[in-house]
A and B are shown apart, each in its own frame.
Chain A
Amino acid sequence: MSSNSAWTGARLHINESELMCRTGCGYYGNPAWDGHCSKCYKEMVQKTQQRKTVFDPTQKIRNKVSRSVSDVSELTSTATSMMSRKFDRFEEKRRQQLDKRTKAVKSIFRKSQSKDVNKVEHPKPNRQLSIESQCVGQEFNDFLKTLSKDVQVRVSKQINMFVDKMLRCVEFQSVDESGEQVHDFYNTMNEMVSMQSAYHDLTQEQVDKINELTERYVTTRLYKALISAVNAVNEEKDLAIQNRIRSLAWVSSQHLECGVKDSCEEVRETLDLVITELIEMNSRRVPSDKLKCLVSSSHHVLNLLKQSRGGSPASADDFLPALIYCVLQASPPLLHSNIAYITNFAQQSSLQSGEAGYFFTNLCCAVAFIEKMTAESLGLTADEFERYMSGVALPPNALDGGVWLCEGMRIMQQNLKTLDDLQSRMDRLLTESDALMKEMDDVQENVSKEVAGVIERTPLTIRPRKADIDEEVPASELLPPPLTPQVCDLA
């Protein structure tokens, strides 16, 4: 602030010519655009981008698609832009078809079946809200009703505006751009809710809840558009890692020195839980739900280590190799897409700090390790590694542990165990039902006996009816006294 006085004397001299666009098109330029006007700058950027991405066909398509956004935003429906938009639409259709085809291929490989359900429910996302969106919207509304009217209106207005805006443009822009917009929106929401005076009386829990529900609502509403964009971009990487994991199927826990005793039955069961959660991650729509799956599977991994070694708590030295082993065993579908989806659309705060952030980082590490794994990192010679990778040979101890060869045996044993369990439960059910049957017989017998006894003791005699009904009957001693009107003393 002390330098304030210096400013009054300072004069900046700018010539008219320096303000003009550098290409000399006659419009004013802007220093932020490298001295060009908006139109020339856009053209320049497009040219350089085209040059950069000429080798990568998917990038090229993406650029074309994103260029169509600028065409639309210009709102100048000249003949040329009409042409290019038509072309873009064609390109987009091609991309979507490509997407569909690969999805079909992937769905053959996919282990979890739950994801396909989502596709069916979303025939017309723009016309009618999916069941999930409706549920989330309902949840949000219910929560907002507990807040003041003012907050209610502001929050829902902001979110609806954003979702509408995104629905219009998300298909035409790259994932990074969408991710940036979503993050910006989270930040503005967070700032608005925690800074502005209208929200002063909100508690921290309410603020957190608003942030959480914002993420939930936005990502659920935009899920289809966002995930298809993410999948399209990461398709090659997803396939690559899937193939990589398959060719690494021979890697045992000894290679990774992670100390997972997978011959032990208890450990195998925990490993199944880890694998289930890792695969389940793909079927969730909301980034925070995906992270929850990851956290719970990481906890299972830690459990796994405890069962295998017992004793001291697991450090990262043990955890990371074990997680790598589990990822190799699970081969989770669309791994890169999921990571990209979470990175782009989760609340940044949850990724930078907290348990979820830590485990997510570890997952990224595991994926990076799997991709770059060499003979050296497994303590093998290059020749051995090569032979194992190509499937020519198997590691010597592969048959001792017999983990992946005896998968069928293991499942059979598990099924036998389940059958045994069912058998014993069935037996218990049968004995219990027998007992119940007997009890019912007893009850029936007892009741009929008692009834017979009562009838014997008090034989039914029909007396002649008395003329006067109102007369007191001495036989009705057992009955409660007749109701008499209650007298209230109002005075």
Chain B
Amino acid sequence: MCAAAAAAGAGGTRSYNFKIVLLGEGCVGKTSLVLRYVEDKFNDRHITTLQASFLTKRINLSGKRVNLAIWDTAGQERFHALGPIYYRESHGAVLVYDITDEDSFQKVKNWVRELRRMLGNDICLVIAGNKIDMEKERHVSLEEAEAYAQEVGAFHFQTSAKQNKGVEELFIELTRRMLDNAVTNDQQRINSLTRGGNTRNLQIIDDQANLPSQKSSCCSA
């Protein structure tokens, strides 16, 4: 993980590069969500970009420069098996479900289980209940979703790509968590390096060196 968030430039100012995968069933609004965030657009007619499958966004968070690369994934069931190829080496995942569709929430649960199994706690998870503008047709209760998110150590956000609610907050929170992760990882790496330095100071005493006839030798051969 540290390698991907590598230092850029020799001047000491570093920028973090994070990869985020978007997971969720087809038609839950993954694409609208990310387009809303990156382009601040919802209506089809205003969109200039040709594609919404790979988008990048540059942000500044607490004085750190962060480049987000957002990878959309195909949500259809038959592509489910390809998931590992997509989320390999990613720092964060946005799991999107449609609050009017119970099945899509089940799908999110499947993804969470799989991600935790494959990547452990290295990956930051955010669950997004999209389409809150259609509150009347809600089928997934907010309490249930939030309880579940807490249980698996993920953040839960209610979003509406159409009304631009909760989208910015979701990505900011995710980025904050990924930054924390990256900083802790760096710290650990530095710690292990300094500890490595200490082991180099380990004194090696040859038992037989005390005997007069034998000369001291290094055992690192």
Chain A residues close to B by CB (< 8 Å)? 1, 3-4, 7, 10-16, 19, 28, 194-195, 199-200, 202, 204, 257, 299, 302-303, 306, 311-317, 319-321, 349, 352-355, 358-359, 361, 364-365, 368-369, 372, 376-378
Contact (Cβ within 8 A) B31 A361: no
Pairs A-B, 7 closest by C-beta atoms: A315-B31, A316-B72, A377-B78, A320-B74, A358-B54, A316-B53, A365-B82
Q: How far is the CB of B62 from chain A (nearest CB, A)?
A: 22
Q: How far is the CB of B14 from chain A (nearest CB, A)?
A: 11
Measured between beta carbons, the chain A residues less than 8 angstroms from B150 are none
Measured between beta carbons, the chain A residues less than 8 angstroms from B82 are 320, 365, 368-369
CA distance A1 to B86 in the complex (A): 40
CA distance A202 to B89 in the complex (A): 30
Measured between beta carbons, the chain B residues less than 8 angstroms from A4 are 198
Measured between beta carbons, the chain A residues less than 8 angstroms from B85 are 361, 364-365, 368
Contact (Cβ within 8 A) A353 B19: yes
CA distance A7 to B197 in the complex (A): 12
Contact (Cβ within 8 A) B51 A317: no
Contact (Cβ within 8 A) B9 A313: no
Contact (Cβ within 8 A) A299 B201: no
Assess A317 versus B31: contact at CB under 8 Å? Given A369-B82, A376-B78: yes
CA distance A359 to B53 in the complex (A): 10
Contact (Cβ within 8 A) A306 B50: yes
Judge whether B119 is part of the interface by a CB distance below 8 angstroms.
no
Chain B residues close to A by CB (< 8 Å)? 4, 6-10, 17, 19, 22, 26, 30-31, 35, 44, 47, 49-54, 67, 69, 71-76, 78-79, 81-82, 85-86, 89, 194-195, 198, 201-202, 204-205, 207-208, 219, 221
Partner of A319, one of B44, B47, B74: B74
Measured between beta carbons, the chain A residues less than 8 angstroms from B76 are 257, 317, 321
Measured between beta carbons, the chain A residues less than 8 angstroms from B204 are 12
Assess A3 versus B198: contact at CB under 8 Å? Given A14-B219, A352-B19: yes
Measured between beta carbons, the chain A residues less than 8 angstroms from B8 are 204
Partner of B79, one of A299, A311, A313, A369: A369
Q: Is the interface of A mostly helix, strand, loop or mixed?
A: helix
Partner of B10, one of A1, A200, A359, A377: A200
Contact (Cβ within 8 A) B81 A372: yes
Measured between beta carbons, the chain B residues less than 8 angstroms from A352 are 4, 19, 89
Q: Which A residue's beta carbon lies closest to that of B25?
A: A317
CA distance A365 to B87 in the complex (A): 12
Measured between beta carbons, the chain B residues less than 8 angstroms from A364 are 85
Q: How far is the CB of A434 from chain B (nearest CB, A)?
A: 45
Contact (Cβ within 8 A) A313 B50: yes
CA distance A194 to B15 in the complex (A): 14
Contact (Cβ within 8 A) B50 A316: no
Q: How far is the CB of B25 from chain A (nearest CB, A)?
A: 10
Q: How far is the CB of A102 from chain B (nearest CB, A)?
A: 28
In addition to A257-B76, A302-B51, A320-B82, 12 A-B residue pairs with Cβ atoms within 8 Å of each other are A7-B201, A10-B202, A200-B10, A204-B9, A315-B51, A315-B72, A316-B75, A317-B31, A319-B74, A354-B69, A365-B82, A372-B81
Measured between beta carbons, the chain B residues less than 8 angstroms from A302 are 50-51, 53
CA distance A378 to B202 in the complex (A): 63
Q: Which A residue's beta carbon lies closest to that of B30?
A: A315
CA distance A299 to B7 in the complex (A): 30
Contact (Cβ within 8 A) A320 B50: no
Measured between beta carbons, the chain B residues less than 8 angstroms from A361 are 71, 85-86
Measured between beta carbons, the chain B residues less than 8 angstroms from A313 are 31, 35, 47, 49-52
Q: How far is the CB of B76 from chain A (nearest CB, A)?
A: 7
Contact (Cβ within 8 A) A317 B74: yes
Q: Which A residue's beta carbon lies closest to that of B79?
A: A320
Q: Which A residue's beta carbon lies closest to that of B70?
A: A358
Residue pairs across A and B with Cβ atoms less than 8 A apart, 6 shown, are A7-B198, A199-B10, A314-B51, A316-B73, A321-B76, A352-B19
CA distance A368 to B76 in the complex (A): 15
Measured between beta carbons, the chain B residues less than 8 angstroms from A317 are 26, 30-31, 72, 74-76
Partner of B50, one of A15, A19, A200, A314: A314
Measured between beta carbons, the chain A residues less than 8 angstroms from B7 are 194
Measured between beta carbons, the chain B residues less than 8 angstroms from A1 are 194
Measured between beta carbons, the chain B residues less than 8 angstroms from A306 are 50
Contact (Cβ within 8 A) B10 A195: yes
Q: Which B residue's beta carbon lies closest to that of A369?
A: B82
CA distance A3 to B31 in the complex (A): 50
Q: Which A residue's beta carbon lies closest to that of B19?
A: A353
CA distance A464 to B110 in the complex (A): 115
Measured between beta carbons, the chain A residues less than 8 angstroms from B73 are 316
Measured between beta carbons, the chain A residues less than 8 angstroms from B67 are 353
Assess A28 versus B79: contact at CB under 8 Å? Given A7-B202, A313-B51, A320-B74: no
Measured between beta carbons, the chain B residues less than 8 angstroms from A202 are 10
Contact (Cβ within 8 A) B53 A314: yes
Contact (Cβ within 8 A) A311 B44: yes
Q: How far is the CB of B118 from chain A (nearest CB, A)?
A: 16
Contact (Cβ within 8 A) A315 B53: yes
Q: Which A residue's beta carbon lies closest to that of B7?
A: A194
Measured between beta carbons, the chain A residues less than 8 angstroms from B51 are 302, 313-315, 319
Measured between beta carbons, the chain B residues less than 8 angstroms from A355 are 54
Q: How far is the CB of A260 from chain B (nearest CB, A)?
A: 15
Q: Which B residue's beta carbon lies closest to that of A18?
A: B219
Q: Which B residue's beta carbon lies closest to that of A202?
A: B10
Q: Which A residue's beta carbon lies closest to that of B198?
A: A7
Q: How far is the CB of A408 from chain B (nearest CB, A)?
A: 32
Contact (Cβ within 8 A) B49 A358: no
Assess A28 versus B221: contact at CB under 8 Å? Given A303-B50, A315-B52, A321-B74: yes
Q: How far is the CB of A286 from chain B (nearest CB, A)?
A: 22
CA distance A427 to B219 in the complex (A): 90
Q: Which B residue's beta carbon lies closest to that of A320?
A: B74
CA distance A376 to B54 in the complex (A): 28
Partner of B207, one of A16, A299, A349, A368: A16
Which of B9, B78, B204, B219 has the most CB atoms of chain A within a 10 A radius of its CB?
Answer: B78
Assess A194 versus B47: contact at CB under 8 Å? Given A320-B74, A353-B19, A358-B54: no
CA distance A364 to B71 in the complex (A): 15
